[in-house]
Amino acid sequence: MGFFSRLFRRKDAPPPPLPEAEARDYTLAELAQYDGSDPRKPLLLAIRGEVYDVGRGRDFYGPGGPYAMFAGKDCTRALAKVAFERELFTGDMEGLDQDELDKLEEWIEIFEGKYRRIGRLLSRG
């Protein structure tokens, strides 16, 4: 980095954008590779069978972010229950009540509006 760019660079300058994720289907094991621990890789999460590229939300989902525990995971149950205990990061929707299903629907609308849906979460593999 040159003298002038060093001199004028804002101390809180954002890091370079993350690469865009490949549009394809992902297994849960593959999804886990995109949890933000490698800054050169996209940041992904899944909700109700769909995979989203949440790279533009790295302040939320990247390392040190308030929702870093979402990255690379199936967030279905956690979002439905608006809670982030470890065991809630599963696609298991068993026993969710109507309020929780409605909440999940609201989150999906938010993610559809804000992030790129890039593929399906494969149930095996």
What residues make contact with ligand HEM under the rule CB under 6 A?
A: 57, 60, 67, 78-79, 82-84, 114
Q: Which amino acid is at 5?
A: S
Nearer Cβ to ligand HEM, position 8 or 114? 114
Nearer Cβ to ligand HEM, position 80 or 119? 80
Measured over the CA atoms of residue 119, residue 14, residue 86 and residue 81, the dihedral's sign is: negative
Burial class of 24 by CB neighbour count within 10 A (0 to 12, 13 to 18, 19+):
exposed
Q: What are phi and psi of 3, to 5 degrees?
A: -60, -50
Nearer Cβ to ligand HEM, position 9 or 93? 93
3-class SS of residue 125: coil
Q: What does the DSSP assignment read for 49-66?
A: TEEEE-GGGHHHHSTTST
Cβ 49 to ligand HEM, closest distance in Å?
Answer: 17
Cβ 111 to ligand HEM, closest distance in Å?
Answer: 7
Cβ 94 to ligand HEM, closest distance in Å?
Answer: 18
Cβ 104 to ligand HEM, closest distance in Å?
Answer: 10
Nearer Cβ to ligand HEM, position 38 or 59? 59
